[in-house]
Chains A and B, each alone.
Chain A
Amino acid sequence: MDDLVAEVLQGSVRAMARLITLIENEDSRALYLMAALYPHTGNAYVLGITGSPGTGKSTLTDKITSVLRDREQTVGVIAVDPSSPFTGGALLGDRIRMQRSSGDAEVFIRSMATRGNLGGLARTTADIVKIMDAFGKDWVIVETVGVGQDEVEIAKTADTTIVVLAPG
C-alpha cells in the first residue's frame, strides 16, 4: 500500500487512478493512505465550477483547461454526476464535452458519482482533490453536479468557486 502512495508521488497515472478508486470506495486503508499523502498537498490551485444543469459547466471546464494548458500548467479534473437513488448506478457524461482535453495526457479527468451524497459533490471528492494535488497537478478543477439553490459544498473545498448561470 505504501508502494501505491510512492508511485503516485513519482507520477504514475495508473497508481493515481487506482488510489482514487480505493478512496472512492472508502476502503479500510483510506485514512492511512490519505495520511501518507497529506504532507505532499497544498500546492495545487483548486477551482470549483458549479451551476444549474445544462448551463455549460463541462464546456467551461474544457475551455479553462485548454487555456491553462496553453500556459503550460498541468490540470486534474474531477467531474461529479449524480448516482441514481433507485439503483445506485450512474451515467457519467461529462467527458463528452471535454473532448479537447481528453486527448492530452497532461490532463487527468476523473468522473465521479455522488453515491447518495447531497450538496453537489461525492463524499470523497475533497480527498480526490488532495490526491491530484499530491500527484503534482498545478490546478485541480472540480465540476459539481448540476445544482439547485443550496448545494454549495464546493465552496468549502475550492480556492475559487465559479457559478455558471444561463443568460436571461
Chain B
Amino acid sequence: MTAKKRIKVIMAKPGLDGHDRGAKLLARVFAEAGMEVVYTGLRQTPEMIVEAALQEDADVVGLSSLSGVHNYFFPRVVELLKEKGLHDVLVVGGGIIPDEDIAGLKKAGVAAVFGPGTRTDEIIKFIKDNISGS
C-alpha cells in the first residue's frame, strides 16, 4: 500500500450520452485491480477530459460512448492529448462501437476498443501490458 507507482486511469464519458453504467462498473473493476481511477462524470468535452488527464498525470484514458459519437470524440481526445504533449497516455474505448468503426479508431490512436461482453480481466490485462513505463 505504500510508496509504489499505481496505474492512474481517467474514466470519461464524452458528449451528451448519459449511459454510464459501463463506465462506472469498469471504474470499480479497475480500482479492485489496484488502480487509482478518476471518474470525471457525464457530459465531458474532449478539452475537459484532456485537462483532467494532464492534471492527474494519467497513464490511461478510458472513453465510453453508447450514443454513436465515438468517431468524432475518441480521435479528438487523442489529438488533444498529443497537442498537450501527453504522448505516452494509453487511450482505450468502449461502449456501443460498430465493428466497422474499430479499424478507423485504432488508426486514429485508440489502442483498443472493448465492446459489450468483453471479459473485464481481459481489459485489465491489456492495460497492464500496454501502459508505458511499467
Residues of A at under 8 Å CB distance from B? 13-14, 17-18, 20-21, 25-27, 83-85, 87-93, 95-97, 99, 102-103, 105, 108-111, 113, 115-116
Given contacts A14-B85, A26-B3, A113-B6, contact A89 B54 (CB under 8 A): no
- Give chain B nearest CB distance to A78 CB in angstroms: 11
Interface size class of B (residues with CB under 8 A): 20 to 34
Q: A91 and B48: CB pair below 8 A?
A: no
Most buried by B among A13, A91, A97: A91
Instruction: List the A residue with the shortest CB-CB distance to B37.
Output: A91
Q: B48 and A92: CB pair below 8 A?
A: no
Q: B34 and A88: CB pair below 8 A?
A: yes
Instruction: List the B residue with the shortest CB-CB distance to A95.
Output: B40
Please give, as numbers and ranges, the residues of chain B lying within 8 Å of A21 by CB-CB distance: 8, 57
- Give chain A nearest CB distance to B88 CB in angstroms: 11
B41 contacts A by Cβ under 8 Å: yes
How far, in whole Å, are A127 and B37 apart by their CA atoms in the complex?
Answer: 21
Residues of B at under 8 Å CB distance from A? 1-6, 8, 27-28, 30-41, 45, 47-48, 51-52, 54-57, 84-86
Please give, as numbers and ranges, the residues of chain B lying within 8 Å of A108 by CB-CB distance: 55
Instruction: List the B residue with the shortest CB-CB distance to A108.
Output: B55
Closest 3 A-B residue pairs measured CB to CB? A26-B3, A116-B1, A96-B41
How far, in whole Å, are A113 and B47 apart by their CA atoms in the complex?
Answer: 24
Given contacts A25-B3, A92-B39, contact A110 B55 (CB under 8 A): yes
Q: A84 and B31: CB pair below 8 A?
A: yes
Using A25-B4, A102-B40, A103-B45 as known contacts, list a sample of 15 further A-B pairs with CB atoms less than 8 Å apart, ordered by residue number in A: A14-B86, A17-B56, A18-B57, A26-B2, A26-B3, A84-B32, A87-B31, A88-B6, A88-B34, A89-B31, A90-B31, A91-B37, A95-B38, A102-B52, A115-B6
